[in-house]
Amino acid sequence: MLDQRPPGDCPRVLRVGSNERLNSATVSCLAPSSVAVTSTYVAPEESVRDSLIDIRTTVFTLGRALRLLLDAGDEEKQWRGTPDQLEVIRTATAATPEHRFPSVRSLVNAWQAAA
């Protein structure tokens, strides 16, 4: 999360879930073209400059959260869900936005049907 900053100051990263500012020796200023993100939840388009970020990007992030709640990773080594739930997650986290659910509501509906 980026903090509020005075004009001319560069963005600084805050720890997620707290108001604690990270040590400036640990985090340097972010260049205007860069974004600090947690790669576990990042949709592929978020890494491409000037790409379209829309609701399908949110669907991807929610799909990643579902995946990590039901397994420790991406290999189904400890999968605790159903095959139908896994298919919903695969659709939500498709590499191409056009292959994902078009809305959070459609993701929720598919998830409820799979549960």
- CA torsion 93-68-44-97 (nearest 10°) is 20
Amino acid present at 72: A
Q: Taking a C-beta distance cutoff of 8 angstroms, is the pair 49, 35 a contact?
A: no
Predicted confidence (pLDDT) per residue in 14-29, tens digit: 444 444 444 444 444 4
Predicted confidence (pLDDT) per residue in 40-95, tens digit: 888 999 888 888 899 999 999 999 999 999 987 777 788 899 999 999 999 999 99
**The pTM is what?**
0.66
Tell me the domain boundaries of the chain.
1-36, 39-114
- Distant-in-sequence, close-in-space partners of 15: CB < 8 Å, separation ≥ 6: 22
Token representation of residue 12: 């600084």
Distance CA 35, CA 90 (A): 26
